[in-house]
Copies of this chain bind each other. A is one copy, B any other.
């Protein structure tokens, strides 16, 4: 089965938005075993959309369109497809009822152009849109399928997951089940090298890696017949990867590193605080971004100046004078001072030169020290990263979170 994605919207051709819909659909289709051979983008223009449909239907089994389902004159996707396949447009009563009640409940008059959203090419299977007013639809004719989805990602993604994915799985006759392993502290190429033979030997399950700074996702996906147990395929492969990557794996449920650390802290009833210099609040922000972080994270300090490091964290002025703000000694003193003052079980501190400027021969851009203090002692790591400020800051935060996790594991082992 192969598919082609046709995105409709002049705003895409003007460069006002990025086509994230095409990426999302491509990744999902690839996991479903559907080959995507092309994307195309056209504006809100019936002639050019017809040409794009012609080209796509000539070579793909399934054409997925995104966009052009709204109430305005510019929104022409359904109408153009209906014309293309010689189908009349007909109202869908449930959709009509929902749109009318939407306006009634708000005491507003429904303008006639809103009726447009309830009209579909005859024979279409309607896909409900719980996040917007424009439903999608599926059309089949002469062995070809057109799946019509809205453009806004917050409407398109849930519609795909809730309606289209099950449809495609039903049609293919098999079921896909994934296990997601997350790893940190190991580079993508190192990880790939370690598991290369496992990846190459496998066709079912498949193993797909996605890398971000300090974070590696491995999605293991098994394809099974309905009723067959996917665990029999997934578990041996997951176990083999676990054996190779060992302690680098921090989650087997798809959590992010901040989520995993917050959950571990909460499960053990421990608390965390953070002190940041070059990352300037990014570590705190990543932790606070986890819903429920307030159970374990009490406070953070952005000690950007030397004075703040001394006043807020008690870093001795002579350590700053002798070793500099970017040093193992300062990072350690920040974490120790922070833990004393905040009274948390764990304290993480970061100091470094994020770049792009501010480095010297002695202390180059990308030199960052990360420290974690707990009752059982202090650990400081030195990282020599890159010249890109964003990468360095993100990476330093990931290292700090990994070190907190390692301290939690170590402390638990020591207590056991």
Which residue numbers of A lie inside 8 Å of B, CB to CB? 12-20, 22-30, 36-43, 45, 48, 52, 55, 210, 274, 276, 278-285, 287-289, 291, 293-294, 297-305, 307-308, 312, 342, 356-357, 389
Closest-by-CB residue of B relative to A20 is B18
* A13, A282, A303 — most chain B CB neighbours (10 Å): A13
Return the contact of A304 from the options B291, B293, B308, B357 (Cβ within 8 A).
B293
Nearest-neighbour CB distance to chain B for A407, whole angstroms, equals: 20
| CB atoms of A285 and B282 under 8 A apart | yes
Known: A37-B43, A305-B294. A15 touches B19 (CB 8 A): no
Contacts of A23 in B (CB 8 A): 12, 15, 17-19
Return the contact of A299 from the options B55, B294, B303 (Cβ within 8 A).
B303
Known: A19-B19, A301-B300, A302-B288. A26 touches B48 (CB 8 A): no
| CB atoms of B294 and A298 under 8 A apart | no
| CB atoms of A37 and B15 under 8 A apart | no
Known: A23-B19, A27-B14. A300 touches B288 (CB 8 A): no
Known: A14-B27, A19-B18, A30-B15. A281 touches B302 (CB 8 A): yes
**6 pairs of A and B residues whose beta carbons are closest in the complex:** A280-B288, A15-B27, A281-B281, A281-B284, A15-B26, A300-B302
Contacts of A26 in B (CB 8 A): 12-15
Main secondary structure of the interface of A (DSSP, over half): mixed
| CB atoms of A41 and B39 under 8 A apart | yes
A55 to B48, CA, bound (A): 12
A41 to B40, CA, bound (A): 6
A357 to B291, CA, bound (A): 8
A306 to B363, CA, bound (A): 39
Contacts of A305 in B (CB 8 A): 294, 298-299
Nearest-neighbour CB distance to chain B for A351, whole angstroms, equals: 12
Nearest-neighbour CB distance to chain B for A398, whole angstroms, equals: 15
Contacts of A17 in B (CB 8 A): 23
A–B complex contacts, Cβ < 8 Å, 27 sampled: A12-B22, A12-B23, A12-B26, A12-B39, A13-B26, A15-B23, A15-B27, A16-B27, A16-B210, A18-B20, A18-B22, A22-B41, A39-B40, A274-B302, A280-B288, A280-B289, A280-B293, A281-B284, A281-B285, A284-B302, A289-B389, A291-B357, A294-B305, A298-B305, A299-B301, A299-B304, A299-B312
Return the contact of A37 from the options B42, B281, B312 (Cβ within 8 A).
B42
Return the contact of A13 from the options B38, B284, B357 (Cβ within 8 A).
B38
Nearest-neighbour CB distance to chain B for A59, whole angstroms, equals: 8
Return the contact of A308 from the options B29, B285, B299, B307 (Cβ within 8 A).
B299
A270 to B26, CA, bound (A): 50
A36 to B274, CA, bound (A): 48
Nearest-neighbour CB distance to chain B for A322, whole angstroms, equals: 20
Contacts of A30 in B (CB 8 A): 13-15
A312 to B273, CA, bound (A): 13
| CB atoms of B40 and A38 under 8 A apart | yes
Return the contact of A281 from the options B41, B45, B300, B357 (Cβ within 8 A).
B300
18 A-B pairs besides A13-B30, A280-B293 with CB distance below 8 A are A12-B22, A16-B210, A18-B22, A18-B23, A38-B52, A40-B41, A276-B281, A276-B284, A280-B281, A280-B288, A284-B284, A284-B304, A294-B305, A299-B304, A299-B308, A300-B302, A301-B301, A308-B342
